[in-house]
Homo-oligomer: A and B are copies of this chain.
Amino acid sequence: MLETAVALAQGEGLESLTMRRLADELGAGAMTLYHYVPNKEKLLDGMVDIVFGEIELPTTDVDWRTAMRRRAISSREALNRHRWAVGLMESRTTPGPASLRLHNAVLGCLREGGFSIELTIQAYSVQDAYIYGFALQEKSVPFETAEESAAVAEEQYREYAELADERQLGELAEEFPYLAEVVAGHVAKVGYNFASAFEYGLDLILDALERRRDTS
């Protein structure tokens, strides 16, 4: 049932995940669901925990840095596979078992890697904020590959110019010159690759964390 719900959210979007719709998918009446789940909130909780379960736990057979790197990349992939989950994490307050396991493993990886408790908390906070924040950005964008991104960037830019009644593209560029430079002048030409952008920022953060760890 949770799997079916996930598949439905994946395939048709979270907004069309209805109790009735889900019940249909399962060949059951809507009210039947309430025998397995107290309400829709808990259903969503369960779905979120499935996503957590898909994230690679950091292993102990490599150094903390590569373990954290892998876990971060795995997190982005999971959140990208299930974009509906990103908007959901926010509201969920009670973590499921998979979430707890992951939390514990990440904290353990850092502690065993030689981080103090205080630094561990900070390192965890920075990494997670970055991961979820990046997923959030990525989610709200309607393209996947770098080539697509260029086309979309140009089109959106043009569309916005039309939308702004009186203005022409030129005037818009005049009001927001730096935006124009970056979006129309760069992204629209060479595109934007989310995966490599993510890893760039990730390595930047891991570098900084390593330095903090060594000088403490």
Contacts and interface: CB of A to CB of B under 8 A. Distances in A.
Interface of A: 86-87, 89-94, 100-101, 103-105, 107-108, 111, 117-118, 120-122, 125-126, 128-134, 136-137, 139-140, 142, 160, 163, 175-179, 181-182, 185-187, 192, 197, 200-201, 204-205, 207-209, 212
10 contacts: A87-B90, A93-B142, A103-B179, A107-B178, A108-B178, A121-B182, A121-B186, A121-B192, A125-B137, A128-B133
A126 B178 contact: no
Nearest to A86: B90
Given A89-B140, A129-B130, A186-B117, A197 B104 contact: no
Contact of A126 (B90, B105, B201): B201
A76 to B, nearest CB: 11
A197 B123 CA distance: 10
A197 B111 CA distance: 18
Of A92, A163, A177, chain B has the most CB atoms within 10 Å of the CB of A177
Contact of A134 (B93, B125, B192): B125
Contact of A90 (B92, B136, B197): B136
A182 to B, nearest CB: 5
A133 B129 contact: yes
A89 B136 contact: yes
A111 B182 CA distance: 10
Contacts of A133: 128-134, 136
